[in-house]
Structure 1
Amino acid sequence: MSRVLLATRNRKKLGELQRILGDQVTVLGLGDVPEFPDEPEIGATFEENAVAKAVQAATATGEISLADDSGLAVDALNGMPGVLSARWAGRHGEDAANNALLLAQLADVPDDRRGAGFVCALALAVPGAEPVIRRGEWRGRIVREAGGSNGFGYDPLFVPAESDVAGDGRTSAQLTPAEKDQLSHRGRAIALMLPDLKLALGL
């Protein structure tokens, strides 16, 4: 069976990609390959960080590798937290602290100016070849109180435009996994990347 390495230890991201790719491909995470040193994320853009992670993983393991860098861009904060999304409150991956800080920063921002978008840059690195980059975006708005327990990161604060169109106002964390896979920034980036990935895997 074909396999691809997703350069992450985030089990939810791994599960998300496995659901989208189905049974044709086995998705490996960093915990499934010999350990190699993680280089710090120092890119100024999502694309720079994604390419660096994918190339590092492919070079270290010899595996066809995918890496994403994703985050939340809030209009009222001039596109921040952006590439700093995972460590917005100071330490990497502390979702509750990141969410609390974001809500505090937007406390005085009126509802009609709380637009935001999730962004995902996805890079594919095949050993010996130039990396391929695809970008997915998911527009919506930031609510005043968290809602839902699905997903991770800023999902409980983000109401996608599709929820507003449907009139239910559900946050990303209140969507089913199948709904989120279809709509999300990561799902869109993966959909754009699928032809490149299938070609690389010989599918």
Structure 2
Amino acid sequence: MKLVFATNNHNKLKEVQSFIPKSITLLSLEDIGCFEDVPETQDTIEGNAIQKAAYIKTHYGYDCFADDTGLEVDALNGAPGVYSARYAGEQRNSEDNIQKLLKNLEHSANRKAQFKTVIALELNGTQHQFTGICEGEITKDKSGDKGFGYDPIFKAEGYDQTFAEISLDEKNRIGHRGKAVQQLVDFLNSI
């Protein structure tokens, strides 16, 4: 089976590839010649995942899955949420996003947050969704150099280290994307 993962983010591709069974050939957008920005214009994480998967199926004809992830912070009423990648502006700069988030939480004692990933799968004319959530908190300072995005300031519940300080295997085991991908893999193995 060939499946397209609708992403240009090589970090995400690497994370997800470690889960996918060898019987499935995982293709990137680059592999199918898709170099345009796939639309993400919905106002929910679920909506963006569905929109991206449907776009690839409609325009390229491949069975595919797409994900969207957001960091939802309690003290900010769920922000940055669906706007996590562009929180500090259209330049989509992780460092800018981190600094804006830390500044917005500067005087907040409530640091509770969760990462949420939704995967939408378009397979044989049917759509499926899988959701992974990892609860935790936002640290006051950056720590670690692994991972990407908000990883240097997010500590999963029960952990003393940020996502940027733990191994990729550990992050995949406890993290939001890993949980959603495992549901996807379990589904694919069951058909």
Q: TM-score, normalised by structure 1?
A: 0.89
The 3-state SS of whatever aligns with 1:44 is coil
Superposed CA deviations along residues 43-62 of structure 1, whole A, max 9, x for unmatched, are 12111110110111122222
**CA–CA separation in structure 1 for the residues paired with 2:57 and 2:189:** 17
Residue 122 of structure 2 corresponds to 125
How far off is 1:159 after superposition? 0.5
Query: Which ranges of structure 1 fall in alignment gaps of 5 or more residues?
Result: 164-168
Alignment match, 1:182: 173
Matched, 1:156 2:152: yes
Q: Secondary structure at the match of 1:138?
A: strand
Q: Which amino acid aligns with 2:119?
A: L
Report if the CA contact (8 A) 1:17-1:27 is conserved.
no
Q: 1-side partners of 2:28 and 2:134: how far apart? A: 25
The AA in structure 2 aligned to 1:10 is: N
Name the residue aligned to 2:67: 68
Runs (5+) with no aligned partner, structure 2: none
Mapping of residues 20-59 of structure 1, within 5 Å:
20-35=19-34, 37-59=36-58
Identity, % of aligned pairs?
37
Letter of the 2:4 counterpart:
L
Which of 164, 180, 191 is 2:182 aligned to? 191
Per-residue deviation, 1:193 = 1.7
1:148 maps to a residue whose letter is: G
Contact 1:4–1:26 (Cα < 8 Å) also in 2: yes
Partner of 1:16: 15
Counterpart residue identity of residue 146, structure 1? K
Query: In the TM superposition, what whole-angstrom CA distance separates every residue of 1:32-52 from its partner, at most 9, and x where no partner exists?
Result: 112264343221211111011
RMSD: 1.5
